[in-house]
Amino acid sequence: MLLTRIREYFANAGVLEVETPFLSAAGTTDPAIQSFSTTYHGPGLCHGARLYLHTSPEYPMKRLLAAGTGSIYQICKVFRDGESGRRHNPEYTLLEWYRAGFDHVALMVEVESLLREVLRDILPLAPARHWTYRELFRNYAGIDPFDTSVNEIRQALQAKGIGAPPGLTEDESDGWLDLLLTHVIEPALDEGLIFVSEFPASQAALARLLPGEPPVAARFEVYLDGVELANGYHELTDAVEQRRRFEQDNTRRGARQLAAIEPDWRLLAAMRSGLPDCAGVALGIDRLLMIAGGARHINEVMAFPLELA
Amino acid sequence: MATYSTNEFRGGLKIMLDGDPCSIIENEFVKPGKGQAFNRVKIRNLKTGRVIERTFKSGESVEGADVMDTSLQYLYSDGEFWHFMDPSSYEQIAADATAVGDATKWLKEQDTCEVTLWNGVPLAVTPPNFVILTVTDTDPGVRGDTSGGGGKPATLETGAVVRVPLFIEIGDILRIDTRTGEYVARAKE
- The answer to whether residues B99 and B74 belong to one domain is yes
Which of A29, A86, A206, A228 to mutate against chain B (most B CBs within 10 Å)?
A228
Q: Which fold has domain A2-128+236-308?
A: BirA Bifunctional Protein; domain 2 (3.30.930)
- The answer to whether residues B17 and B57 belong to one domain is yes
- The answer to whether residues B49 and B16 belong to one domain is yes
How far apart are the C-alpha atoms of B62 and B6, rounded to whole Å?
8
Residue range A189-208, pLDDT digits in tens: 999 999 999 999 999 999 99
Q: Do A85 and B7 touch (CB under 8 A)?
A: no
pLDDT score of B150 = 73
CATH number where B171 lies: 2.40.50.140
**Residue A166 or A36, more confident:** A36
pLDDT score of A189 = 96
- Model confidence at B145, in pLDDT bands (50, 70, 90)? low
- The answer to whether residues B111 and B84 belong to one domain is yes
The parent domain of residue B96 ranges over 67-126
pLDDT score of A138 = 97
Nearest to A32 among B29, B34, B62 (CB): B34
pLDDT score of A280 = 98
How far apart are the C-alpha atoms of B96 and A219, rounded to whole Å?
60
Residue range B146-169, pLDDT digits in tens: 555 678 999 999 999 999 998 899
- Model confidence at A21, in pLDDT bands (50, 70, 90)? very high
Mean pLDDT, all residues of chain B: 92
What Cα–Cα distance (Å) separates residue B47 from each residue in A11, A19, A257, A306, B122? 62, 57, 36, 35, 10
- The answer to whether residues B58 and B40 belong to one domain is yes
- Model confidence at A113, in pLDDT bands (50, 70, 90)? very high
- Beta bridge pairs of residue A257: none
Domain ranges of chain A: 2-128+236-308
- Beta bridge pairs of residue A72: A16, A98
Of B17, B40, B63, the residue that ends a domain is: B63
Residue range B80-120, pLDDT digits in tens: 999 999 999 999 999 999 999 989 999 999 999 999 999 99
Q: How far apart are the first and last CA of chain B?
A: 45
- What distance in Å separates residue B35's CA from the closest CA in chain A? 5
Q: Does residue A152 register a pLDDT over 60?
A: yes
Residue range B25-50, pLDDT digits in tens: 999 999 999 999 999 999 999 988 89
pLDDT score of B146 = 59
Residue range A50-104, pLDDT digits in tens: 999 999 999 999 999 999 999 999 999 999 999 999 999 999 999 999 999 999 9
Q: Taking CB atoms and an 8 Å cut-off, how many pairs form between chains A and B? A: 80
How far apart are the C-alpha atoms of A28 and B36, rounded to whole Å?
16
- The answer to whether residues B40 and B86 belong to one domain is no
- The answer to whether residues B75 and B31 belong to one domain is no
Q: Do B58 and A82 touch (CB under 8 A)?
A: yes
Q: Which residue of B has its CA nearest to A28?
A: B34
- What distance in Å separates residue B27's CA from the closest CA in chain A? 9
Of B126, B150, B176, the residue that ends a domain is: B126
Give the total number of structural domains in chain B: 3
- The answer to whether residues B47 and B75 belong to one domain is no
pLDDT score of B49 = 86
- The answer to whether residues B82 and B105 belong to one domain is yes
pLDDT score of B189 = 62
Provide the 10 A C-beta neighbour count for residue A23.
12
- The answer to whether residues B54 and B86 belong to one domain is no
- The answer to whether residues B37 and B59 belong to one domain is yes
**Do A197 and B45 touch, CB atoms closer than 8 A?**
no
pLDDT score of B95 = 95
